Structure 1
Amino acid sequence: MKKSTSLSNILQLVIPPERMKPILEELGYIDVARKFTVYDLFLFLSEAAFQQWRGYRDGEQQMAHYGQRAVDHSTLSKKAKQVPFALFKRLLAIMIELCNRKTKRSLGIPKELLVVDSTQVTVGMGRLPWAPIRGQKSGIKLHVSIIADRGELHRVTETTGNEHDLNSCAELIDPTRILVADRSYGKHKFFDAYDMQIERQYFVIRLRDNTTFHNPVPRIRKKPFTGSIEQDLTCQLGKNKALSERRFRVVILRDPKGNPVILATNLHWHSPEKIAEIYRKRWQIEVFFRWIKQQLNVPRLFGTTPNAVYGQIYTALLVYVLLKYLFDQGNAAVHNTAKLTFAEFDLLFSLQSLPLEWRVFLSCNLNFPNIG
């Protein structure tokens, strides 16, 4: 492959066609097309996310300019309906493993923070009749975990928009990291399970304001609380059938608007101020959701079938993982005067206007290790 700094050419270096073939065989999909293959669809969806094309018709007009095999919009739509979205989910997992490999290590305490949450993409009922929410709306959910401070995507799964977040939590968590989550994940029986499993899942999770504290005991503290902290205690959570079996630590503070924030955790060696600081890292997943929706076309669904919808979204997330890897690698390699923010890198890369030092790096110095 000719060296180039285009997204499609870098993707072909990272995930060549031969890597896709065994996955297709495992999924039982036989690609008989010659004019427009599954791999061509993969490159199209990647570029469509990166360049924020408006749909299949818009992509039909644009794709030839980005070195892709030109076909009409009906061919794009038909192919997207046929190809199982599990392929793109698997490719995303490959990209995550590849791009996060450089930071893998044996983790002890203090552990990294794993922030978990979901985001909803909604459209009119007529667009996705297989995914009703309520009223005249339909939509899907992405359930995501990211590694805080590094902004790295960890795990992703999908459901229709009316599925409760807790039902997908088991697919996202990781006992080698501290789970940080909002009230949707605050079910007391889950806390017991986290605390009782062989490799304990440590967590900091916000509780609902009306949570009942059973037999609360304040923790001994020699110094007064600082900042917005008001209480630090241990108790069982809930009542009656919802009562937790174990006692957990509860830290109560106030947000900037004066509203109570009640945090449950099984971390007993950190100060309450540290617990509050850990929870504040949760905002990073909100930034992530906002970025993929604004920059990778996630709310603009091209197709109407599960394969078309989820295939598009998983490919967009794959593009995010690749961009984040390129950005981190490049910023570590270029001179201080050439360093960029992620937003600057994304914009200049999409416009093919990166500084010379960045273009040289992307053309000559990228190193992607092979994975099995």
Structure 2
Amino acid sequence: MKYHNTVLHQLLNFLPRQRFQAVVDRHNGDHRTRSLSCWDQLVSLLFSQLSGRQSLRDLVDSFNSKNAHHYHLGTRLIRRSSLADANRDRPIAIFQETFFYLLEKVRDRLPKQDATELVRLIDATTIDLNMNQFEWAKFRSSKAGIKLHTVYDPHAEIPVFFEMTNAKVNDRKALSSLPMMPGITYVVDRAYNDYGWYYSLTQQGSKFVGRMKSNAVYEVVETRPAKGAGVLADEEIRLTSNKAKKDCPISLRRITFRRAEDQKLLVFISNDLKCSAAEIASLYKQRWQIELFFKWIKQNLKIKKFLGRSENAVHIQVLTAMISYLLLKLVQLGGFSHLSLQQISRLMSVNLTSRRSIHQLLNPETERKIVAPQMSPQLNFGLSFA
């Protein structure tokens, strides 16, 4: 029988130990560490994410019960106090760089897109926290929480950037920390309506599609034919309020659209003066993909219940959740596009310590079929004349 490392070990092959250790050394992550290295911390947290552990004690007990596999994982028995201290104190930059390293690996496995087709969705999701346990995350008199401000690639179905902030941080204020690249079309909701940001995108050669505020003051420069299903109006406009025209002194597109599924009226704003109104409406429709992503990670990864109460511990847990997502995506891109990430995640969660190839796990029909041995004529003689 062919020998296989555990499924978790095969997942970790996407992240070479030497490469990870170089990041750790750069940030002095293992300085004065005796019982729990950064690698021990990462592997145990990934184990927690992918197997659905519910608490720090649950994680430590479950991980230590698999000690027969620790040697091949490059880990050792962990103590609850050591892991809690590491989550509180270790540099989050180690996990951020690991996320971006795996992100590049995912991108390398994707088919190349024409620059004119690149679309990024921007949105944020709020995760509620217990105010008594997470005082640093308080944002109202009786509420606490964090926000994940995310830039999402709908073609690759991956987050390409995210930032964790206190839930009180306004979505528009978070825009300044999100990386913007020339040639990309950014799709945003009404919460990100910022004319200065729209203008800076235009100046750098990017496009945007957003929702226009109902109280926006403008003049119509040109009225175009309303072509396309659901398109009620297609106008070229200029903003006329003193602040808006100073922040964004360019012509913009205003498109009035009625959504077929619920007859809701939507008014889009864009700096794209060439695409059809229907194409711009179609771009905005892609926003539902980032909503599905937020729903998926909340249902399948551990970002609603946290192993530590400090801001650093929460941040590291969110990062390891995103790292887990990219690892699952790398598996999917390795020849399993016929399976959803949910299917892959479920199969992985119950087989993390199984010594079985991922290929056999996800394609069970490829395993060698057991053929019943044929009986020799000498042993079969009693049946030959039945």
How would you bin the TM-score normalised by the shorter chain? 0.7 to 0.9
- Asked if 2 retains the 8 angstrom alpha-carbon contact of 1:60 and 1:73, the reply is yes
| Inter-CA distance 350–257: structure 2 relative to 1 (3 Å threshold) | same
Within 1, Cα distance between the matches of 2:240 and 2:303?
38
The residue type paired with residue 78 of structure 1 is: D
TM-score calculated relative to the size of structure 2? 0.83
- Asked if 2 retains the 8 angstrom alpha-carbon contact of 1:181 and 1:205, the reply is yes
| Inter-CA distance 211–4: structure 2 relative to 1 (3 Å threshold) | farther
Q: For 1:1-372, what aligned pairs fall within 5 Å after superposition? A: 3-4=4-5, 6-7=7-8, 9-66=9-66, 67-68=69-70, 69-103=76-110, 105=112, 107-109=114-116, 111-170=117-176, 171-197=178-204, 200-212=205-217, 214-221=218-225, 225-237=227-239, 239-243=241-245, 244-255=248-259, 256-331=261-336, 339-352=338-351, 358-359=359-360
| Inter-CA distance 347–12: structure 2 relative to 1 (3 Å threshold) | closer
Within 2, Cα distance between the matches of 1:24 and 1:356?
29
The residue type paired with residue 350 of structure 1 is: S
Within 1, Cα distance between the matches of 2:361 and 2:263?
51
Quote the offset at 1:218 in angstroms: 4.1
SS across alignment from 1:19: helix
Runs of 4+ in 1 over 4 A off after TM superposition: 353-357
SS across alignment from 1:130: helix
Within 2, Cα distance between the matches of 1:84 and 1:11?
23
Within 1, Cα distance between the matches of 2:171 and 2:35?
41
Q: Deviations over 1:204-246 (max 9, x none)?
A: 112223322x11134332xx53422211101123622133311
SS across alignment from 1:330: coil
SS across alignment from 1:173: coil
| Inter-CA distance 140–357: structure 2 relative to 1 (3 Å threshold) | closer
Q: Deviations over 1:259-300 (max 9, x none)?
A: 321111122222111111110001000000000011001111
TM-score calculated relative to the size of structure 1? 0.86
SS across alignment from 1:14: coil
Quote the offset at 1:61 in angstroms: 1.7
Quote the offset at 1:158 in angstroms: 1.9
Identity %, equivalent residues: 23
Within 2, Cα distance between the matches of 1:25 and 1:356?
32
- Asked if 2 retains the 8 angstrom alpha-carbon contact of 1:145 and 1:173, the reply is no
- The runs of 5 or more residues in structure 1 that have no matched partner are 333-338, 363-372
SS across alignment from 2:307: coil
Within 2, Cα distance between the matches of 1:13 and 1:153?
21
Within 2, Cα distance between the matches of 1:196 and 1:112?
18
The residue type paired with residue 352 of structure 1 is: N
The residue type paired with residue 60 of structure 1 is: V
| Inter-CA distance 76–39: structure 2 relative to 1 (3 Å threshold) | same
| Inter-CA distance 106–346: structure 2 relative to 1 (3 Å threshold) | closer
Query: Which residue is equivalent to 2:366?
Result: none
Within 2, Cα distance between the matches of 1:173 and 1:117?
14
SS across alignment from 2:127: strand
Within 2, Cα distance between the matches of 1:357 and 1:189?
49
Mean Cα deviation higher: 47-56 or 203-212: 203-212
Alpha-carbon RMSD across the aligned residues, in angstroms, is 2.5
Within 1, Cα distance between the matches of 2:151 and 2:293?
10
- Asked if 2 retains the 8 angstrom alpha-carbon contact of 1:107 and 1:176, the reply is no
- Asked if 1 retains the 8 angstrom alpha-carbon contact of 2:35 and 2:82, the reply is no
The residue type paired with residue 128 of structure 1 is: F
Query: Which residue is equivalent to 1:335?
Result: none
SS across alignment from 1:103: coil
Q: Deviations over 1:331-368 (max 9, x none)?
A: 25xxxxxx323222221222229998832789xxxxxx
| Inter-CA distance 5–30: structure 2 relative to 1 (3 Å threshold) | closer
- The runs of 5 or more residues in structure 2 that have no matched partner are 71-75, 364-386
- Asked if 2 retains the 8 angstrom alpha-carbon contact of 1:236 and 1:246, the reply is yes
Within 1, Cα distance between the matches of 2:357 and 2:80?
36
Within 2, Cα distance between the matches of 1:146 and 1:5?
31
The residue type paired with residue 289 of structure 1 is: F
Instruction: Say which one has the larger Rg.
Output: 2
| Inter-CA distance 196–274: structure 2 relative to 1 (3 Å threshold) | same
Within 2, Cα distance between the matches of 1:5 and 1:226?
53
| Inter-CA distance 24–280: structure 2 relative to 1 (3 Å threshold) | same
Mean Cα deviation higher: 53-62 or 158-167: 158-167
The residue type paired with residue 95 of structure 1 is: L
Q: Deviations over 1:120-169 (max 9, x none)?
A: 11212222222221122122211111111320221122222111222332
Quote the offset at 1:16 in angstroms: 3.0
